[in-house]
Amino acid sequence: MARRSKPAKSEKRRRKQQPRERNQTTDVIVDTAARFTCSSQVTDDFAEQCSSALETLDCDLAFNRVAHEMWRERPGHGQQIAEALAAFLTERERYAQALTQLQQRFTALRDLGPQHEHLEPVEKYRELIRARVFPDHPPLA
């Protein structure tokens, strides 16, 4: 009778990780559906996303400005680099303005208060999130 070989440690680890990863993804789907189906939570979440993106963008803008300052006086190819940096800076500044306006809009919508509502049934929206964001994840039970 042939002996069965033991699975390698990496294979054992992979087998153990798969259910854990599937459970983590399920948790993300359930949590996201809960947040996105509540009017105050979805507006709060996206206002926070705007705020977080603005913080990162402020740092990016500072580095973009200094790179542009370093290259703007260079002739030839350096001038082309400076022009590209300036165009990128302009777009980032435009994006910062848009994020600021959207953050204010989401905050105002959240603060309306009495118009709080929930989308039902939540299971329908869990499945939508699973299908759109995690299409390889099995359907939720």
Segments making up each domain of the chain, as ranges: 26-133
* 60-119: pLDDT as tens digits: 999 999 999 999 999 999 999 999 999 999 999 999 999 999 999 999 998 886 678 899
- CA 66 to chain centroid, in Å, comes to 27
Please compute, for residue 121, the number of CA atoms within 13 A of its CA located in the half-sphere on the CB side: 3
What is the C-alpha separation between 73 and 87, in angstroms, rounded? 16
Categorize the per-residue pLDDT at 23 as very low, low, confident or very high, splitting at 50, 70 and 90. Answer: confident
Tell me 139's DSSP state: P
- Peptide bond preceding 75 in cis form (omega within 30 of 0): no
